[in-house]
């Protein structure tokens, strides 16, 4: 039985607590939140679980084996560091940290103490992403050409970060998971209209082998869109996460370059076949992820969404910020 | 009665001929195409109209008052120049020319000879774009925040240009028409996978007053998308050109920044009201455009989609090419 | 404070309990379910609330002012009757009863004891139905022509009733609420394929003034559909309950009959204008409904969804069963 | 070379003429229309083809081997009869005739003279219907459960027939083609609101083996819908004819009845797997159909959409009219 202390009971924290309590191998032995209102809500939802407004107290508790840090990004580093120093495993909300340097320090610390860090890239545990990964791994899509995501809606505005830090981590972690290569460089453009942070932004990530990723994030869109196109040489995928039933559509469409004879010859031919929507597992991703974290703690192995994976996302966000502030300058990673 | 010679009877030329013949104030007195197959088709469609494979002959004909140049972009300059030098008005397919220098030369030439140039930015004459322009002009949308277009599909691959020159001119002309300001700078990223030209590309255009435009074009998409989001301070528009009936949706959604007291105060509030799909005129845009060209020729006035408008689009494409080749470097206009 | 005993803690019961507990004027003082598993779940969800497997005990309890009967339809009559006889107000799941005779008996009993009956026609309290009712009441739609609903999906099969009794009560109650007239006659057709009950059925209801309603229900549909068309002389409505944001679309479309001169004259003309999606209240309908029930109990007035409204639905279902078994014979109401 | 005379050059006639002229084995040697305006249009479209306003003249012409009757249904019988009596093959617009008696007379006449009748059930020659037929024939769907079509839009109102005669023939011919059994009985309900003919109607057709078909037709719908659900024991199909690319979706969903032990046992289980949109041929159906008619004439064999198939549709329409006028009375076929 692994005992968790959870810091942060705002929007996402209650889901982490609920899932940890439902799993058979874990329990929640402490919840911490600065806000009295949140603590009242925590008490109502979880009668009997000790509450505190002091993270240090929770981290120090001998009843806590692992700490879940479900707070705003600026506080991740201090809380995770304190937890690791106290010998506790850490589950951290994404993005992992505010800077690359912080992430590297936490990774080093965890390695030294032989503790696990898991960064909460929940999407990697959805049926949809698992299915796409499977399609790539088994060669169905063929060589990858591009990953192109649109993730827009009205709000929620964050006060301390721009729209890239709020919405892009989802895609950055997914794309890192799907594309078997390290990102090389980042270009980001965008604009701010309301509160001093970019609220509309576009990010291109260059990968080796002519693979390109693009992320369109926007807090000022009248409609919610969660659509990703993934182009491969053999097949192409449209993933619409707002669809209830057919989230993933695999198109048997492709392009072939043939030898043309002259200037006016058509050099490229198209193939257009069936479309296929594979059944996608309907699990609750967070539960699968936390269960996997328990495996990793018990087995003493690093999760694939460990500090290193979290660091990659932060590295790209940091580069994107720099590119954004210089209106699209290429930032090598 | 204005008599047209039409050069180019491939994909779009037949539509230009058909509309010119249907209008009461114009007729087609000559069609030119290098390809015998195209001339056979032209003969079948237009019995009695003289055909030639020699553009010079058509341009020189005393029965031709205006020349429509419906050929690949690399040939626009020579043909339009010859036509203007022969004292003929010119209707040119978009993009206007291959370079800014060519466009400037044609504009200068037309001005000197007091001839009209119209660049075929057909979309400006659709009911949808006219309605959006109306919504902006009458203040319904309020101050503009962004213009964000996705224009992707499988093929058609062009041999002589990349996907930006093929698909972006639509959006560049529409956005220039809607945003009452001059573009300041361009950032373009993209990648090529098949025939040496970028087939996936993303283009950001910066305008004064924090207005930003973004264009996503792709020849390798399994699905066809033609969707543009336009964000304004008061209302926002989603234009889906593939919808048969409700192409334009106007959302009474908005964001307001309020004064917050502290770090944790929510500074931004949302408004979410009705949605409204105004009836959009169902005309054939090309017919409206050509009729407007006849007005301009007869009235001796420049159309809004004149050489200058065409030049703006070419200027942005040229800048985009430069930016693309340097992986996103900002190119000032 | 009105104290509820809730009988039935299966699929819907937990929602009733949760909402009654959240409302300030009501509390739940007892829950009854025959199944031990359901009682365990009830205990977990509602620590401290007394549980029983004996409805008689709950009904007799002096701590219970009103009884919510959230059980299969065949048990409604006995339970509601016992509750009324014990002087308790009754909230009953739809359909109200298994027969017209039972419904009439309960209504009579409640009237005699001056107790309230509310039949749980939850849909009447959704933002969507309230908005449609408003559009009708204020004359926006004009004279009604038809109500046409499709409510199909895969399962859930019921054991004791056919698909009409399972799915049609929603539409029958909505349509009764919207059409200001009494249904005159019913025709039902359908077929059974699996377990001896019709799993595909179609029901036409004739109203005075040439108003017609049609309901398409199906347990064997591969896709879920919840779409209702409502045609009026002035405007028409499409209500798609599966849409997250734009559930109701109002079309400014209509038809006018003009005087034609001869056999070949076109006698009818169409009007096609804007479409408009009014903002729809996002409340939880069940909470609004229960709050209204508290008003009715406190104010001693009958709800609009009282026993009489429930009876109307049962009368149409009974007629539909008769029509179905005689393959579409018209059954007058 | 088979020479056609075409009677009727209104909405559909021009398509028949265009396709007959394009096919290599047929030509059009005469066009007849009462309306001068239609004849002018025919002359413009088809220079050199003889025109007349007298059907008798066209039918009698020695240059005509086959007559296409593309006129309102009330005129089909007289024209087709005259053509057959003149020894000409006949292609007739659907519905075949106004009455069963007329259809039987034409069939008998054609048989006696050894002439071909083809009824223009164009939909049978679309890629979509051919694909569905293939799925049924090869056993993919398993035993059929139901065919449920919705075919609604605003107008066009017909003057001489109700909405069933206007819109239902499509579905009646498709369903007859797909269901390998003879319809047994018909129930129709509906209502009229404007010009004395039912403009909203619902039709149930009973087949042997518990197969049921239902057709929902409506001239007063604000939106156009062309959706058919086809339920089979093994798989189910959704055919949305308004989709550009994925007209047919095959769902690997099904229902199985298991042995239940008690009253509360779940007796039915569901299977929910992949969805698959097979590529559908993009031919022009009318061209395929006319080419098949040429085969039949040349080969002296009856088409599957012959007079007998047309008669079946008329028989169901006649029964539906009777049922409609008696508000849903079952009419045996």
Residues in B touching A201 (Cβ below 8 Å): none
Instruction: Name the domain boundary from B115, B147, B173.
Output: B115
Of C252, C272, C276, the CB nearest to B274: C276
Chains that touch B (3 or more CB pairs under 8 A): A, C, D
3-state secondary structure of B93: strand
Range with top average pLDDT, A40-44, B310-314, C158-162: B310-314
Chain D closest-CA separation from residue B51 CA (Å): 20
Nearest to D145 among C155, C193, C260 (CB): C193
Residue in chain A closest to C246 (alpha carbons) equals A223
Of C252, C273, C277, the CB nearest to B275: C277
Q: How many CB atoms lie within 10 A of CB A333?
A: 15
Across chain A, what does the average pLDDT equal? Answer: 93
Amino acid D164: pLDDT: 96
What pLDDT, in 10s, does the model give residues C95-122? 999 999 999 999 999 999 999 999 999 9
Give the pLDDT confidence of D32-53 residue by residue, as tens digits: 999 999 999 999 889 889 999 9
A101 shares its domain with A61: yes
Sheet holding B2-7, edge to edge: B51-52, B26-32, B2-7, B66-69, B89-93, B117-120
Q: Tell me, what's the pLDDT at B180?
A: 83
Question: D140-162: per-residue pLDDT in tens?
Answer: 999 999 999 999 998 766 668 89
Considering only CB atoms, D154 lies closest to which of C263, C264, C270, namely C270
Determine the distance in angstroms separating the CA of C278 from the nearest CA of chain B, rounded to an integer.
Answer: 5
Q: Given this model, what pLDDT does residue C255 score?
A: 76
| Residue A76 included in any domain | yes
Across C223-251, average pLDDT: 95
Residue in D193, D268, D327 closest to C194 by CB? D268
- Cα separation, C196 vs C147, in Å, equals 29
Pairwise CB contact (< 8 Å): B187 & A212: no
Taking an 8 Å Cβ-Cβ cutoff, which residues of chain C contact chain A? 47, 223-224, 242, 244-245
pLDDT tens-digit series, residues B69-112: 999 999 999 999 999 999 999 999 999 999 999 999 999 999 99
Q: Which one is predicted more confidently, A184 or D260?
A: A184
CA distances from B242 to A225, B156, B183 (A): 17, 17, 28
Average pLDDT over residues B301-313: 97
- Residues in D touching B47 (Cβ below 8 Å): 47
Place of tokens 């209504």: C107
Q: Which residues of D touch C230 (CB under 8 A)?
A: none
Q: Which residue of B has its CA nearest to A329?
A: B329
The whole-angstrom distance between C249's CA and the closest CA on chain B is 9
Q: Is-contact D135 D297, C-beta < 8 A?
A: no
Would you say residue A19 lies in a domain?
yes
Q: Are residues D250 and D148 in the same domain?
A: yes
Residue of A187, A190, A257 with shortest CB distance to B189: A187
The answer to whether residues B56 and B82 touch, using CB atoms and an 8 Å cutoff, is: yes
Residue C258 lies in a domain: yes
Question: Do the chains contact at D276 and A277, CB–CB below 8 Å?
Answer: yes
Q: Nearest Cα to D64, choosing from D32, D37, D95?
A: D32
pLDDT greater at residue C245 or residue A227: A227
The percent of residues above 70 in pLDDT, for chain B, comes to 95
Q: CATH code at B109?
A: 3.40.50.720
Average pLDDT estimate for C195-209 = 94
pLDDT per position as a tens digit, B204-229 = 999 999 999 999 999 999 999 999 99
Residue B142 sits in the same domain as residue B268: yes
The C-alpha of D252 sits at a distance from chain A's nearest C-alpha, in angstroms, of 10
Contact residues, chain A, for B34 at CB < 8 Å: none
Under the banding of pLDDT at 50, 70 and 90, the label for residue C264 is: very low
Nearest by CB to residue A47, choosing from C47, C242, C245, is C47
Which pLDDT score is estimated for C262?
45
B274 contacts in C (CB within 8 Å)? 276-279
Q: Which chain A residues are closer than 8 Å to C46 by Cβ?
A: none
Identify the CA nearest to D108 among candidates D307, D321, D315, D260. Answer: D307
- Whether residues D246 and A275 touch (CB distance < 8 A) is answered with yes
**C88 and C130 share one domain:** no
C77 pLDDT above the threshold of 80: yes
Specify the pairing of strand A89-93 against strand A66-69.
parallel
Percent of the residues in chain C that have a pLDDT greater than 90, as a whole number: 87
Asked if residue C88 and residue C31 are part of one domain, the reply reads yes
**Residue D42 and residue D147 share a domain:** no
Task: Kindly write down the DSSP assignment for every residue of D241-253, as one continuous string.
Answer: TT-SS--EEEEEE
When the pLDDT of each residue in chain D is averaged and rounded to a whole number, the result is 93
Residue A254 pLDDT: 79
- Domain hosting B198: range is 127-284+315-332
Say if residue A155's pLDDT is above 90: no
The Cα-based distances of D61 to D51, D69, D88, D115, D296 in angstroms read 12, 15, 10, 17, 22
Mean pLDDT of C143-158: 89
Q: Do D277 and A277 touch (CB under 8 A)?
A: yes
Confidence of residue D30 (pLDDT cuts 50, 70, 90): very high
In this complex, which of D159, D202, D238 lies closest to C202 when CB atoms are compared? D202
A279 is a domain residue: yes
With CB atoms and an 8 Å threshold, state whether C148 touches D200. Answer: yes
Contact assignment for C276 to B275 by CB distance below 8 Å: yes
Contact C229 D157 (CB under 8 A): no
How many whole angstroms separate alpha carbon A226 and alpha carbon A230?
13
Residues C104 and C144 in one domain: no
User: Is the predicted pLDDT of residue A227 greater than 80, yes or no?
Assistant: yes
pLDDT of residue B282: 87
* C-alpha–C-alpha distance, residues A291 and A294, integer Å: 5
pLDDT of A139 higher than 60: yes
Give the mean model confidence (pLDDT) for residues D70-96.
97
- Touching A (3+ Cβ pairs <8 A), the chains are B, C, D
In a domain, C321, yes or no: no
- For residues A46-71, give the mean pLDDT: 96
pLDDT beyond 60 at A315 = yes
Cβ atoms C57, C46 nearer than 8 A: no
Residue found by looking up tokens 């009452």 in the block:
B180
Cα distance from N-terminal residue to C-terminal residue, chain A: 40
Contacts of D10 in chain C (CB under 8 A): none
pTM for the full model? 0.93
Q: Which candidate, D200, D322, D323, places its Cα nearest to that of C210?
A: D200
Give the CATH number of the domain where residue A162 resides.
3.30.360.10
Number of separate helices (H) and strands (E) present in chain D: 9, 15
Shared domain check, D162 and D251:
yes
Residues B45 and B147 in one domain: no
pLDDT of residue A157: 65
Q: Which of C86, C115, C144 is the last residue of a domain?
A: C115
Judge contact between B210 and B145, C-beta under 8 A: yes
Among A88, A115, A142, give the residue marking a domain's end.
A115
B54 and B8 in one domain? Answer: yes
pLDDT single digits (tens) B140-156: 999 999 999 999 998 76
User: Does C309 map to a domain?
Assistant: no
Q: Which of B267-276, C39-48, C168-177 has the lowest mean pLDDT?
A: B267-276
Could you list the beta-strand ranges (E) of D75-180. 89-93, 117-120, 144-154
Pick the range with the lowest mean pLDDT from A127-131, A153-157, C160-164, D21-25.
Answer: A153-157
> Does pLDDT of A258 surpass 80?
no
Q: Are residues D177 and D65 in the same domain?
A: no
Distance CA B260, CA C34 (A): 54
How many domains, chain A? 2
> Does the structure show a pLDDT above 80 at B263?
no
The reply to whether C56 and C139 lie within a common domain is no
Alpha-carbon distance of C82 to C5, in angstroms, equals 13
Mean residue pLDDT of chain B comes to: 93
Beta bridge partners of D147: D213, D230
Contact assessment for residue B173 and residue B135, using Cβ atoms and an 8 Å cutoff: no
pLDDT of A260 > 70? The answer is: no
pLDDT at residue D271 above 90?
A: no
CB contact at 8 A, C101 and C319:
no
Name the phi and psi angles at D266, rounded to 5. -75, 120
Q: Using a CB-CB distance cutoff of 8 angstroms, which residues of chain A are in contact with residue B132?
A: none
Ranges B118-122, C90-94, C263-267, D225-229: which has the least confidence: C263-267
For the segment A176-222, what is each residue's pLDDT rounded down to a tens digit?
Answer: 999 989 999 999 999 999 878 999 999 999 999 999 999 999 999 99
CA atoms within 13 A on the CB side of A60: 5
Cβ of D278 and A277 within 8 Å?
Answer: no
A326 interaction partners in chain B (CB closer than 8 Å): 330
- Assign C180 a pLDDT band (cuts: 50, 70, 90): confident
Q: Give how far B165 is from chain C: nearest CA, Å.
A: 35
- Chain B nearest-CA residue for D246: B223
Looking at the predicted structure, is the pLDDT value of residue A264 above 50? Answer: no
Look at the block and give the residue holding tokens 């924090």: B210
ipTM score above 0.90:
yes
Q: How is residue B235 written in tokens?
A: 């209302």
Among C214, C253, C265, beta carbon nearest to D222: C253
CA C308 to chain centre: 13
Enter the tokens of residue C114: 């001056």
Q: How far is A216 from chain D (nearest CA, A)?
A: 26
In this complex, do B231 and A210 lie within 8 Å of one another by their Cβ atoms?
no
Residue A242 lies inside a defined structural domain of this protein: yes
Q: Which two structure tokens, joined as six digits, stand for D68?
A: 């296409």
Band (C314; pLDDT cuts 50, 70, 90): very high
Within a domain: residue A298?
no
Residues of C in Cβ contact (< 8 Å) with D218: 146, 148, 229, 231
């Amino acid at each position: 039985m692994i005992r968790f202390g959870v810091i942060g009971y705002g929007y996402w924290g209650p889901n982490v607590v609920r899932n940890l309590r439902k799993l058979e191998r874990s329990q929640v032995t402490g919840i911490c939140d600065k806000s009295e209102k949140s603590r009242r809500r925590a008490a109502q939802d979880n009668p009997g679980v000790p509450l505190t407004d002091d993270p240090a107290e929770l981290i120090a508790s001998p009843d806590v084996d692992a700490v879940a840090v479900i707070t705003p990004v600026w506080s991740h580093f201090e809380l995770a560091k304190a937890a690791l120093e106290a010998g506790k495993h850490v589950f951290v909300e994404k993005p992992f940290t505010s800077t690359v340097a912080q992430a590297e320090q936490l990774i080093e610390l965890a390695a030294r103490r032989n503790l696990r860090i898991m960064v909460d890239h929940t999407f990697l545990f959805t049926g949809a992403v698992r299915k796409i990964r499977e399609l790539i791994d088994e060669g169905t899509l063929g060589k990858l050409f591009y990953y192109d995501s649109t993730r827009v809606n009205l709000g929620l505005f964050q006060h301390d970060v721009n729209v890239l830090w709020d919405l892009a981590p989802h895609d950055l972690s997914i794309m890192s998971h799907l594309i078997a290569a390290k990102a090389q460089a980042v270009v980001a453009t965008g604009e701010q209209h309301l509160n001093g942070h970019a609220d509309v932004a576009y990010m291109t990530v260059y990968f080796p082998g002519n693979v390109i990723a693009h992320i369109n994030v926007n807090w000022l869109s009248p409609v919610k869109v969660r659509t990703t196109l993934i182009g491969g040489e053999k097949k192409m995928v449209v993933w619409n996460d707002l669809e209830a039933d057919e989230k993933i559509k695999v198109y048997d469409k492709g392009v072939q370059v043939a030898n043309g004879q002259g200037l006016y010859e058509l050099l490229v031919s198209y193939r257009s076949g069936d479309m296929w929507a594979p059944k996608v597992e309907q699990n609750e991703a967070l539960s699968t992820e936390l269960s996997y974290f328990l495996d990793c703690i018990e087995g003493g192995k690093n999760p694939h969404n460990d500090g290193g994976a979290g660091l990659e996302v932060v590295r790209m966000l940091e580069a994107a910020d720099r590119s954004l502030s210089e209106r699209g300058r290429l930032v090598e990673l």
